[in-house]
Amino acid sequence: MNELNYEQFEKWLKSESFRPDTGYKLRLAYFKINELLPTNEIREFYPKNIVNDKEDIELFAFLASKLIVILPKEEETIFKVLYLKDISHVDLEIKKNIGFESWVLKIYFTNNTVIELNSVEDSNEYWRYKYEDAIKRIYKSLLVEKSLV
């Protein structure tokens, strides 16, 4: 996967092998995303915990005015819609580690929902730089370019 975006996620699902339970959940979520979302309008996409051994997979699709949180489960796929106009504030933490940095983006909503994206915790040692780049793009989109808010 060259860059973390929906197009690459789609290609990755077709070519990569996952643990059977993870692959099943991701493919089911992928079909539901294509059925329910205008995928050509996804501006940023962040797949949390698909390259590590954590069970809690979350997919984040940033559209022009909404953040769609997709929770792939064994028996169901849950879609949650958050409105970007309801963001109260955003925190970005850059932590120094030995040989790399950890980027943590926290997005706070007025309904007390907090979305946390973590370049190290959400990925693995091979993918953390791509996750870092995705966090940078999302941060810039939310704050600098204002293209998502």
How many domains, the chain? 1
Question: Domain of 10?
Answer: 6-144
Handedness of CA 9, 13, 18, 23 (dihedral sign): positive
For the cut 90, the answer to whether the pLDDT of residue 77 exceeds it is: yes
In angstroms, the first-to-last Cα distance of the chain is 27
* Tens of pLDDT, residues 12-57: 888 766 776 778 888 899 999 999 999 999 999 999 998 887 889 9
CATH at 40: 2.30.29
Residue 149 in domain: no
Q: 0.85 exceeded by the pTM?
A: yes
Question: Shortest CA distance to 109 belongs to which of 49, 143, 67?
Answer: 67
Give pLDDT tens digits for 126-146: 999 999 999 999 999 998 654
- Distance CA(6)–CA(43), nearest Å, equals 9
Q: Give domain status of residue 1, yes or no.
A: no
Query: For residue 63, is it within any domain?
Result: yes
The answer to whether position 31 is within a domain reads yes
